[in-house]
Structure 1
Amino acid sequence: MTTRTLVAKPAAAPMPDRAELSPARRRLFETALALMSRDGYHGVSVRDIVRELGQHPTAIYAHVGSKQELIFELVRIAHEELRDRVRAAVLSAGSDPVDQLRAVVTSNVLTHLTYPELARVSHSEHGQLTDEQRAVIDVHRSDLGRLLRDVVHRGVAQGTFSPDDVEIKVVAIVTMGVRIVDLWTADMGVDVQHIAAVHADLAVRMLRS
């Protein structure tokens, strides 16, 4: 029997290509992201970031007002990228709730694994946000949850999914991508597409039971 070797395909860049990121702003954010992913928010100072950039300490303030604003921008970008990718995946999945569910889960897992540092920092440093900033992020999280619930409720209405414990299952599915970035590494020899497909299968079986 031949064993198929699956090769991981991480992102070429640590952050998505979003319109608001100029080259200088992207370099700042990617540098801060790498340091915070390694040392945590409180383990990284503004001086650490600008030293890594080879710039004067005041250079950072051309892009953000503080380190706290910087972490908010990283968390915001992570959540907006996830929301946009999942929404696009569902829109292209057709009208079958099973296909839509697979699209949600696959996109969720792939986005986390495509940008693992961004996902890890976004989740671990969410507590550093102010109440006002957290409210902005909570809107994005609610959008993702609402999108998944709409898919699930359509499936329940059509008799495709079981009506039992729907909310518990929805919460479990939403959080599927969160821990995967702490468990998966590129040297595991397992392709991210395969990991996403396994999670999608789990979600379908969960909602059919």
Structure 2
Amino acid sequence: MSSAPVEGSGSAVPRGGGRDAITGAARTIFAERGYHGTSIRDIAKRAGLSLSALYYWHPSKQHLLAALVEEITHDYFQRCDRALREATDEPAERLAALVRTTVEYRVSRRVESNIATLEWRNLEPENRERLDGLRRAATRLWVDLIADGVARGAFHCAHPDDARRAIVAACNAIAQWYEPGGGITLPELAERYTAIALRIVDHRV
């Protein structure tokens, strides 16, 4: 029986741990240098793997970027979906759950969030079109929630789409400026942005 191949040896089939090393290396270097400033060789070197080991998991830098953006976007959608399933049917509480989840996500995955935002334009059309479905699904959560709140008289905003865009943009921007230990805790930040969101949709107690 042949022995298992060793990562970094140039074998065609590296062990599974290399995939995490590659993802971590790509995340770090994309954040430092941007997509166009990063080479596939840079990523392999940072991951401590040979090029052949990297190519086993990702045939190109574009494939790696698409896989990273997909994981980030899918994780966000899953967290939001779970938060809404755990919330009550009250529109204000559901909006608070969605805002809180988004704020927590942007803080806990700041690097990934910024990569997904800044490098989206560098996805090739085929990958962008495929991943846009995930983005639309996440957007639909917000659209349906605010529309339901307006229909039920819980929200009184005259322009629901504009309200949604303002809330989402504010929450997403947190990844660019928030620094842990900078004077405001994560629970305080989530509470603050929930209050802002409820004002934007004109929720009246």
Contact 2:167/2:200 (CA < 8 Å) preserved in 1?
Answer: no
The one of 164, 171, 184 aligned to 2:165: 171
Choose from 172, 175, 183 the match for 1:189. 183
Q: Distance in 1 between matches of 2:171 and 2:67?
A: 20
Equivalent in 133, 138, 159 of residue 153 of structure 2? 159
Quote the residue 1:91 is aligned against: 85
SS at match of 2:201: helix
Report what 1:138 is aligned to: 132
In the aligned structure 2, how far is the partner of 1:137 from the partner of 1:42?
A: 20
- In the TM superposition, what is the alpha-carbon distance from 1:30 to its structure 2 partner? 0.8
1:44 Cα deviation after fit: 1.2
| Separation in structure 1 between the aligned mates of residue 152 and residue 24 of structure 2, nearest angstrom | 45
8 A contact 1:85–1:107 mirrored in 2: yes
CA contact (8 A) 2:27 2:112 kept: yes
1:109-138 deviations in whole A, cap 9, x for unaligned?
111111111111111100111111111221
Q: Paired residue for 2:29, among 8, 25, 35?
A: 35
Amino acid at match of 2:173: R
Give the AA of the match of 1:89.
A
Higher relative contact order (CA 8 A, sep 6+): 1
Deviation at 1:151, TM superposition (A): 1.1
Distance 1:146 1:165 in 2: 16
Any gaps of 5 or more consecutive residues in structure 1?
Answer: 1-21
The aligned counterpart of 1:23 is 17
* Separation (CA, whole Å) in 2 of partners of 1:44 and 1:117: 16
TM-score (norm 2): 0.87
Output the amino acid matched with 1:84. Answer: Q
Greater gyration radius: 2
Is there any run of 5+ residues in structure 2 with no aligned partner, and where? 1-15
Q: Quick check: 1:145–1:174 contact (8 Å CA) kept in 2?
A: no
CA RMSD of aligned residues (A): 1.4
CA distance in 1, matches of 2:128, 2:37: 21
SS at structure 1 position matched to 2:139? helix
TM-score norm. by structure 1 comes to 0.85
Task: Confirm or deny that 1:49 pairs with 2:43.
Answer: yes
Aligned length in residues: 188
Shift of 1:59: 1.4
Q: CA deviation at 1:141?
A: 1.4
